[in-house]
């Protein structure tokens, strides 16, 4: 570690000058001469849960007519553990019609994203979200984001305790600034000191975003190892005794820059349930104080730890805590996918996990999903739970309502919607084009095209019922956690993808680059011989991600820092037989 004092990044100055995230957002919203906010306010707006974007499908045409880009805003609703009630669901659905583009997206972090909101409607959108007792503050920005938690109430008796703890962490680490209520809810400005306004964060908040997740083994459905900080519930003799603590996960990287890499979190200790909030706060404070504030692409906790070691981080957390974390306890994950279909709890309440393609709640010809869910929400007295894989659980359906809700699910095709191949059910895609400003290639609009081809392949190979995780993103930032799936496509340019293979089926091992710059329409053809090979020669119970490593298609990734080493067959040559690059 160099002791050289580096110049803080421009974002640090913006945060410092912002008066706790106020900036000139309120004034910018009043400016009718443009559909945009000024640059600094765009940075601050993220902390409030919104990104300024523009419709990239319209960019060229508007430029031709010398019009400014078609500015729109994405608003992200933060929901700890992805839980919202029927009334809140109906509010989101209405806002999507009143102010958005008529649909909404279930995100990969159990949040809801509304797209296509123009500046003039931003304040009304925020107001209506808050009136429904939901929040967008800290859904984005250099703060602790939405806390993820296994959403499935039936999967463990410990679930309620875990979700309550996740909620406590989210509440404790939420920014305290009055800016949010002043700007969006017209509350009076309160003058306060740094200590009272942001006692945990201070005026510069964190160096970068910070993500926390809670998983309950054997389900790793929230992809715990992708988080800056993860808590693995340890249940002994049916009782929740505490949590293993993991740190240093993160997916983003930059193509061609080996200084950046995805990384999976390392388990470094154990804490009791009553210590969790304290541990989360102190771990976040260590990153607040030691994270790189000069280079944003090196500012996540994974780099702080990679530069110094996990032992250093553990010791610092212990120092900040004033006591020592215990050694980690044994645990075992089996999958990071969702368990589809019906489950009935001991209390007679039912839960139905459904597949939502790309997480998009939308009406399409032949499948009026959004309308169906709206009709269900009108009578459902339980709740809706978003999974970390962009899917949805209609949860806590009371015995009295089950027949009526089942009839609606039948009427709108929801009951049959998970009658799909295992690879389709294991798919996740980030938004990418046309709204994400960072997208290099299609993702959400590309995935269905690829799946149509791959469904044909897996049917012919006899793999229809085999669960295989596949993810795509339009750029290497990794919002859909592509590096943790068995197959991944990461956008490099228009219709060009890097193809990765070999992630662990339980989300506990990263994949590796297999082919570079593959055209979108060629990917199914590249995968076909490998899938057939898998069908022919896999060992009993062997998962696809393990198979491609055992048979030498790609080398095993040990940790993020070796992500770029010993890559697979990236020559682009047609693959006739597996090439044993690292058998
Ligand atoms: Fe946008 Fe990249 Fe995230 Fe996809 S992965 S939503 S393209 S930033």
Tens digit of pLDDT for each residue in 233-273?
999 998 999 999 999 999 999 998 999 999 999 999 999 99
Is residue 157 over pLDDT 90?
A: no
* Per-residue pLDDT band at 196 (split at 50, 70, 90): confident
The span from the CA of 376 to the CA of 379, in Å, is 6
3-state secondary structure of 326: strand
Is residue 578 over pLDDT 70?
A: no
What are the pLDDT digits (tens) for 462-479?
999 999 999 999 999 999
pLDDT of residue 309: 97
Is residue 575 over pLDDT 50?
A: no
Q: How far is the centre of ligand 1, averaged over its atoms, from the C-alpha of 15 (Å)?
A: 24
Q: Evaluate: CB of 477 within 6 angstroms of ligand 1.
A: yes
297 burial class (0-12, 13-18, 19+ CB within 10 angstroms)? middle
pLDDT of residue 554: 94
* Per-residue pLDDT band at 195 (split at 50, 70, 90): low
What are the pLDDT digits (tens) for 327-352?
999 999 999 999 999 999 989 999 99
Kind and range of the H or E run holding 196: helix 194-197
Q: Evaluate: CB of 436 within 6 angstroms of ligand 1.
A: yes
Q: At what angle do helices 301-308 and 310-321 cross, to 10 degrees?
A: 110
Q: Evaluate: CB of 475 within 6 angstroms of ligand 1.
A: yes
How much is the average pLDDT of 450-460?
Answer: 98
Is residue 393 over pLDDT 90?
A: yes
Residues catalogued as catalytic: 76, 145, 209, 211, 430, 436, 475, 479
Nearest to 21 by CA among 54, 44, 53, 50: 44
Do you know the residue count of the chain? Answer: 583
Q: Collect all residues with Cβ–Cβ distance below 8 Å to 358 and sequence separation of at least 6.
A: 105, 390, 429, 444, 447, 448
Is residue 583 over pLDDT 60?
A: no
Is residue 70 over pLDDT 90?
A: yes
Q: How far is the centre of ligand 1, averaged over its atoms, from the C-alpha of 476 (Å)?
A: 7
In sequence order, what DSSP letters do the residues of 341-370 get, joined into one string?
EEEE-TTS-EEEEE--GGGEE-EETTEEHH
pLDDT of residue 3: 55
> Are 318 and 324 spatial neighbours (Cβ–Cβ below 8 Å)?
yes
Is residue 569 over pLDDT 70?
A: no
Helix then strand count (H, E) for the chain reads 18, 22
Q: How far is the centre of ligand 1, averaged over its atoms, from the C-alpha of 478 (Å)?
A: 6
Q: How far is the centre of ligand 1, averaged over its atoms, from the C-alpha of 29 (Å)?
A: 26
How much is the average pLDDT of 223-227?
Answer: 98
The span from the CA of 243 to the CA of 211, in Å, is 17
Q: Collect all residues with Cβ–Cβ distance below 8 Å to 160 and sequence separation of at least 6.
A: 153
Q: How far is the centre of ligand 1, averaged over its atoms, from the C-alpha of 106 (Å)?
A: 14
pLDDT of residue 193: 58
Q: Evaluate: CB of 245 within 6 angstroms of ligand 1.
A: no
Q: Evaluate: CB of 433 within 6 angstroms of ligand 1.
A: no
The span from the CA of 373 to the CA of 377, in Å, is 6
* Per-residue pLDDT band at 579 (split at 50, 70, 90): very low
Lowest mean pLDDT among 46-60, 104-118, 150-164, 299-313: 150-164
Q: How far is the centre of ligand 1, averaged over its atoms, from the C-alpha of 242 (Å)?
A: 34
Nearest to 372 by CA among 408, 415, 416: 408
Give the alpha-carbon dihedral of 309, 313, 316, 317, to 10 degrees.
-160
Q: How far is the centre of ligand 1, averaged over its atoms, from the C-alpha of 550 (Å)?
A: 31
Pocket test for ligand 1, best of 140, 429, 437, 474 (most atoms within 8 A of CB): 474
Q: Evaluate: CB of 438 within 6 angstroms of ligand 1.
A: yes
For the entire predicted model, the pTM comes to 0.95
pLDDT of residue 197: 87
Pocket test for ligand 1, best of 443, 492, 494, 496 (most atoms within 8 A of CB): 443
Q: Evaluate: CB of 432 within 6 angstroms of ligand 1.
A: yes
pLDDT of residue 2: 53
| Beta strands at 367-368 and 363-364: parallel, antiparallel or unpaired | antiparallel
Q: Evaluate: CB of 439 within 6 angstroms of ligand 1.
A: yes
Is residue 577 over pLDDT 70?
A: no
- The 8-class DSSP code of residue 482 comes to G
Pocket test for ligand 1, best of 105, 430, 435, 481 (most atoms within 8 A of CB): 430
The span from the CA of 539 to the CA of 83, in Å, is 39
What are the pLDDT digits (tens) for 360-371?
999 999 999 999
How much is the average pLDDT of 469-491?
Answer: 98
Q: Evaluate: CB of 430 within 6 angstroms of ligand 1.
A: yes
Nearest to 280 by CA among 150, 198, 172: 172
What are the pLDDT digits (tens) for 88-147?
999 999 999 999 999 999 999 999 999 999 999 999 999 999 999 999 999 999 999 999
Q: Collect all residues with Cβ–Cβ distance below 8 Å to 561 and sequence separation of at least 6.
A: 261, 263, 306
571 burial class (0-12, 13-18, 19+ CB within 10 angstroms)? exposed
């Amino acid at each position: 570690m160099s002791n050289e004092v580096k110049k803080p990044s421009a974002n640090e100055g913006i945060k410092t000058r912002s008066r706790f995230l106020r900036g000139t957002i309120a004034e910018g919203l009043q400016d009718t001469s443009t559909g945009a906010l000024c640059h600094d306010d765009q940075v601050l707006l993220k902390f409030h849960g919104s990104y300024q974007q523009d419709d990239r499908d319209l960019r060229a045409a508007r430029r031709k007519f010398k019009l400014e880009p078609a500015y729109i805003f994405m608003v992200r609703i933060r929901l700890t553990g992805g839980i919202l009630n029927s009334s809140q669901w109906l509010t989101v659905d209405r806002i999507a019609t009143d102010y958005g583009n008529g649909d909404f997206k279930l995100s990969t972090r159990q949040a809801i994203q509304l797209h296509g909101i123009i500046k003039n409607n931003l304040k009304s959108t925020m107001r209506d979200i808050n009136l429904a007792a939901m929040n967008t503050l800290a859904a984005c920005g250099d703060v602790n984001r939405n806390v993820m938690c296994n959403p499935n109430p039936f999967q463990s008796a410990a679930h309620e305790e875990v979700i309550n703890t996740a909620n406590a962490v989210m509440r404790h680490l939420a920014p305290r600034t009055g800016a949010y209520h002043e700007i969006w809810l017209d509350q009076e400005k309160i003058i306060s000191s740094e200590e009272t306004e942001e006692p945990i964060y201070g005026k510069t908040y964190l160096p970068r975003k910070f993500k926390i997740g809670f998983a309950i083994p054997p389900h790793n459905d929230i992809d715990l190892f992708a988080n800056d900080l993860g808590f693995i519930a340890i249940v002994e003799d049916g009782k929740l005794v505490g949590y293993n603590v993991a740190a240093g996960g993160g997916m983003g990287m930059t193509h061609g820059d080996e200084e950046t890499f995805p990384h999976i979190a390392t388990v470094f200790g154990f804490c009791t349930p009553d210590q969790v909030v304290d541990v989360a706060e102190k771990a976040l404070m260590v990153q607040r104080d030691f994270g790189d504030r000069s280079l944003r692409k090196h500012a996540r906790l994974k780099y702080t730890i990679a530069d110094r070691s996990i032992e250093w981080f553990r010791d610092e957390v212990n120092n900040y805590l004033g006591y020592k974390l215990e050694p980690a306890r044994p645990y075992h994950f089996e999958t990071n996918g969702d368990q589809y279909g019906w489950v009935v709890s001991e209390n007679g309440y039912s839960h139905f996990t459904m597949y939502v393609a790309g997480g998009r709640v939308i009406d399409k010809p032949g499948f009026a999903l959004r309308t169906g869910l709206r009709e269900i929400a009108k009578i459902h007295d339980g709740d809706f739970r978003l999974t970390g894989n962009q899917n949805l659980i209609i949860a806590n359906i009371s015995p009295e309502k089950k027949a009526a809700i089942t009839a609606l699910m039948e009427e709108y095709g929801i009951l049959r919607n998970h009658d799909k191949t295992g690879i389709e059910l294991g798919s996740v895609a980030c938004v990418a084009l046309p709204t994400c400003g960072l997208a290099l290639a299609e993702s959400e609009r590309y995935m269905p095209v690829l799946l149509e081809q791959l469904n044909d392949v897996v049917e012919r190979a006899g793999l229809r019922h085999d669960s295989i995780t596949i993810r795509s993103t339009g750029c290497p930032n990794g919002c859909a956690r592509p590096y943790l799936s068995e197959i991944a496509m990461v956008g490099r340019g228009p219709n060009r993808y890097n193809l990765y293979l070999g992630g662990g089926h339980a989300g506990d091992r990263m994949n590796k680059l297999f082919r570079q710059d593959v055209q979108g329409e060629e990917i199914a053809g590249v995968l076909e011989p490998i899938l057939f090979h898998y069908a022919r020669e896999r060992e009993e119970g062997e998962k696809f991600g393990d198979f491609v490593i055992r048979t030498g298609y790609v080398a095993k990734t040990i940790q993020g820092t070796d992500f770029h080493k010993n890559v697979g067959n990236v020559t682009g040559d047609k693959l006739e037989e597996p090439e044993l690059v690292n058998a």
